A and B are shown apart, each in its own frame.
Chain A
Amino acid sequence: MDIPVSEVKKELEARLPDVKLRAVGNSLLVENPDDLPRVALFLKENPKFLLDYLSSVTGADYLSYLESVYHLYSMAKKHGPVALRVRVPKNKARIPSLVTVYRSAELQEREAYDTFGIIYEEHPDLRRLFMWEDFEGHPLRKDYAQEDSETLEAADIAWLEARGVEVPPEMKEKAKALEAAGQRAVAQKPEKPRN
């Protein structure tokens, strides 16, 4: 049972007049990220929708901005989904967390933080989910440069040599050259054959 976006939008605009909304495709864009918890709480508690179940939280990178998408369903009324989305600029990717409204956001927001670098404010435990703590970058962003596993950097060589591993001289030279140029060892991205 689908809920038409226009209906949700109408109801929301009537009840929360200061929230700016825009219908994007089959989903509802909350223009100001700070309004998101209010909207979610309203949808969760409003008897007409009772969207008590947050199915999926995910980020997406649209080059000029980052987006966080939420799919809400109702277990009580067995309808849905209502998709909410929030857009934030890349350099200021901060969205209020939904954990206080839906606990199911906990691990999913951690995942989106890990992979997209979206900071969910007031999340009780915002750590990386899959990658290790001092991992650099956010792997699902489109500008993420993957580390080249074949080429060693100066730090890697120091780490290896401290453990008594012999590093071939040509690798050392390459690392030195990289360091002198102030570059990282970045893997060549597989070119995307777009026909």
Chain B
Amino acid sequence: METIPFSKNTDTAEMLEINFGPQHPSTHGVFRMAVQLEGEKICGLKPVFGYLHRNHEQIAENLPYAAVMPYTDRLDYVNALTNNFGYALAVEKLAGLEVPERAEYIRVIMAELARIVNHIAVIGFMLNDLGAFFTPLLYAFRERERILDIFEGVTGSRLMNNFFRFGGVKHDLTEADLAEIKKIIARFPAFLKEFEDLLTKNEILCMRCQNVGILSAGDAINAGITGPVLRASGVNYDIRKVDGYSIYNRFDFQVPLGKKGDVYDRYYVRILEIRQSLKILEQALAKIPQGEIMNKKALPYLKMPRNFKPPVGEAYGRIESPKGELGFYVVSDGTPQPWRYHVRAPSLINLTALEEMCLGQKVADAIVILGSIDIVLGETDR
């Protein structure tokens, strides 16, 4: 096994070197943290990647544009829909494709549902890392199940949705689907209240989370951290607001900001973000127009993916995925395959500051901090 270049020397001091992972119950997959311990205190921590590496980028460079879509599902497999969104956005930018109104609404609805799914699942998993024996996780999964049923009914799959197409979406939302989504939104606040009663004011949770893994706003920006982790540090940066991509600038929603940038803020910002997503969903469901779901110009490419040849050029499409800024950098050389395809994975880049957050904390905190950053190994290792 390779040697990890820790900043402190392990041999001289009374230190213990432990590998958390690649097989460990709390590393959310096959992530490895090489940790230097002095007693229970962390003196050094280096993340080690690549256990789930499958060279996603090269796979994509050898496939037609449309055939990459199912592979993007497998990046962040908790919310495949937002990955689809990012990729579709980048390629539409490249090819200059317009998306019909109704399709935009469907996209937003599905992406926000995916965000809710992700956030409740993350909070559940984080609580598991904190040692709560599956109860919050299973409550979260209970609600997630209903949303996944929607996904299954609409997109055909619960996790690997493969739903977005360049210039539209694959299936239309029927009236029944919309009614079902409305029902879910209606019952969600009650669930959130229950969830908060269980967690938010719990003294043990507060003790474990408050003032743990603090990340200052400046450090967060410099380290390129995005998403709820950044906003927990108090930086008002939400790409839905900043870029207003798709039709997000039509909705009235707010950006919740944390105070200290600790684990508790990251937890609570996610809860608040779920509420904002519900707000967006309500507006989108009220306003969704009738109409086409595919751009007419893009229709023939559904049947002939190899005829889809975007003009020579490059595009960088980014979206606010639940984990942070998910960017797709696509370079076209006028052939059916992308010449260069790169994923800016928030799960990976948010780990840049992992060591600073963990230094001086206890072992148990490192696990919780990792849980609060919210990584998915499919995206981290690609």
Interface residues of A (CB under 8 A from B): 1, 25-27, 52-56, 58, 60-61, 69, 71, 75, 78, 81, 83, 102-108, 111, 115, 125, 127-133, 139-140, 190, 192-195
Q: Are A194 and B335 CB-contacts (below 8 A) given A52-B221, A71-B327, A103-B223?
A: yes
Known: A58-B344, A108-B224, A140-B57. 16 other contacts (CB 8 A): A26-B314, A56-B327, A60-B340, A71-B316, A71-B327, A78-B237, A83-B316, A102-B222, A103-B222, A103-B352, A106-B352, A127-B5, A129-B49, A129-B50, A131-B53, A193-B306
Partner of A52, one of B222, B342, B352: B222
What's the Cα separation between A122 and B316 when bound, in Å? 27
B323: CB under 8 A from chain A? no
What's the Cα separation between A56 and B224 when bound, in Å? 9
What's the Cα separation between A58 and B57 when bound, in Å? 11
Interface residues of B (CB under 8 A from A): 2, 5, 49-50, 53, 55, 57-58, 61-62, 219, 221-225, 235, 237, 242, 306, 313-314, 316, 318, 325, 327, 329, 331, 335-337, 339-340, 342, 344, 348-349, 351-353, 381-382
Instruction: Report B-chain residues with C-beta under 8 Å of the C-beta of A54.
Output: 224
Q: List 29 A-B contacts (CB under 8 A).
A: A1-B242, A25-B313, A52-B222, A53-B224, A55-B327, A56-B316, A56-B342, A58-B329, A60-B331, A60-B339, A60-B342, A69-B329, A71-B316, A71-B329, A78-B237, A103-B352, A104-B222, A104-B224, A108-B224, A108-B344, A127-B2, A127-B5, A130-B55, A130-B381, A130-B382, A139-B58, A140-B55, A192-B337, A194-B337
Instruction: Report B-chain residues with C-beta under 8 Å of the C-beta of A104.
Output: 222-225, 349, 352
Instruction: Report A-chain residues with C-beta under 8 Å of the C-beta of B340.
Output: 58, 60-61
Closest Cβ of chain A to B186, distance in Å, is 34
Instruction: Report B-chain residues with C-beta under 8 Å of the C-beta of A52.
Output: 221-222
Residue with the greatest number of chain A CB neighbours at <10 A, chosen from B50, B224, B335: B224
Cβ-defined contact, B316 with A125, below 8 A: no
Q: Are A55 and B50 CB-contacts (below 8 A) given A104-B352, A190-B62, A194-B336?
A: no
Instruction: Report B-chain residues with C-beta under 8 Å of the C-beta of A190.
Output: 62
Partner of A139, one of B55, B318, B337: B55
Q: Are A56 and B329 CB-contacts (below 8 A) given A78-B242, A108-B349, A193-B306?
A: yes
What's the Cα separation between A109 and B313 when bound, in Å? 23
Instruction: Report A-chain residues with C-beta under 8 Å of the C-beta of B53.
Output: 130-131
Closest Cβ of chain A to B69, distance in Å, is 19
Cβ-defined contact, A115 with B57, below 8 A: yes
Q: Are A107 and B349 CB-contacts (below 8 A) given A55-B325, A78-B237, A130-B53?
A: yes
Cβ-defined contact, B316 with A81, below 8 A: yes
Instruction: Report B-chain residues with C-beta under 8 Å of the C-beta of A61.
Output: 340
What's the Cα separation between A41 and B193 when bound, in Å? 47
